[in-house]
Amino acid sequence: MPSGKTPIKNRKPRSFAGQLLVWYDRHGRALPWRESPKDPYHVWLSEIMLQQTTVATVLAYHRRFIQRWPTIKDFANADIADLLSAWSGLGYYRRCHLAHRCAKMVVAQGGFPRDVASLRALPGIGAYTAPALASILYNAKAPAIDGNVQRLVARLLAIDVVPTTRARQIHDYIKARIPHARRADFTQALMELGGQVCRPKNPDCANCPVRHHCAAVSKNLTAHIPVKPARKVRPDRYGVAFCCIDPAGRLLLRRRPDQGLLPGTSEVPTTPWQDKRITARDLAATPALAQTHVPICISAQTSWQIITPPVRHIFTHFRLSLHVAITLVPRQAAPKGYHWAGGNRLHAQEPLSTLMRRVIECGLAGTAHDAVA
């Protein structure tokens, strides 16, 4: 039985909550943020990291953050660049900025508030995270509806339209079944059942503890629920990234703004990311492009190597193809707003996004690739 849970009496329960909790006692994962006594900081950090990210991915990040910043006060006092560096690869970097602001507010207030409305007022805590924290930390009767729970209830009720259009119905269904005791376990059990059994594809209905409550099972509709919204077509964008490498093997980097896409992360200079496809003729004009977008002393005759194929990355709202151009430059001071980074600093300290790590790896290994210009 996962730590931190109080099992119900040794009898076969008939209620939805009772059947769910018996299953959770046997099959719920022993995750570090579920340990007893619960540390609000650990639980909050896990919920922020789990937004749009899987448990398997979050486990290692959560452990590293807790080791490096053991308390929320440590987190609040950390430099945002250090937090972003440790966050690198976890994606959705705005979460890290909002978490840093939230930690500062929580420390200033003397701890996390206990009610949903006050939790919701904190940066980075939204319509799902606020009730989840209130329930898990303070045993509040607060339905926490994440994607897993939404899918689970859509099947339980055989909702044959996009579930988000029935948000109130799903909320009321869960609220009516929250038990008086073990509300925190009930909330986590719903998420666990949705993630482990009531999966998006090939749900394990035979081993579902609440299958007798499920209208989709009785109507043989589990393969057709939930109904997904029409997929939006992601537009394509294109650009060139310039890897300027000095004799010491360092790269010229700059920091992105704290607002917008990939906020506060480091990157090599790039052209704007535009809708126009980049052609071979465009790539042949790389020296002229570089003189516009690279703020160091290079001549129009500087030789640039273009790595093929381009680095491709999918963002939430568009797909990016980024051609990588590399050149060697003389040792020189970094211009204002830029800095040189290499060696351990580049790999361990720079707050690099997954996209930029791939660009830099491509650039540093450039001599092993074929050049097209």
User: 184: burial class by Cβ within 10 Å (0-12, 13-18, 19+)?
Assistant: buried
**Closest Cα to residue 198, out of 167, 228, 156?**
156
Query: Which residues on adjacent β-strands are paired with residue 305?
Result: 326
Cβ atoms of 198 and 150 closer than 8 Å:
no
Query: Which stretches within the chain are classed as H helix?
Result: 16-27, 40-50, 55-68, 72-77, 80-87, 94-109, 116-120, 129-138, 147-156, 167-175, 183-196, 215-218, 280-284, 286-293, 343-344, 354-364
Amino acid at 305: Q
Amino acid at 251: L
Cβ atoms of 373 and 280 closer than 8 Å:
yes
Angle at 51 between CA 45 and CA 53, to 5 degrees: 105
Question: Which residues 6+ apart lie within 8 Å of 340 measured at CB?
Answer: 246, 248, 250, 251, 252, 253, 334
- Tell me the three state secondary structure of residue 45: helix
Amino acid at 363: G
Q: Which residue numbers are catalytic? A: 47
3-state SS string for 191-208: HHHHHHCCCCCCCCHHHC
Amino acid at 345: R
Side-chain-side CA neighbours of residue 243 (13 Å): 23
Radius of gyration of the chain measured on its C-alpha atoms? 25
Cβ atoms of 301 and 287 closer than 8 Å:
yes
Question: Which residues 6+ apart lie within 8 Å of 125 measured at CB?
Answer: 102, 119, 133
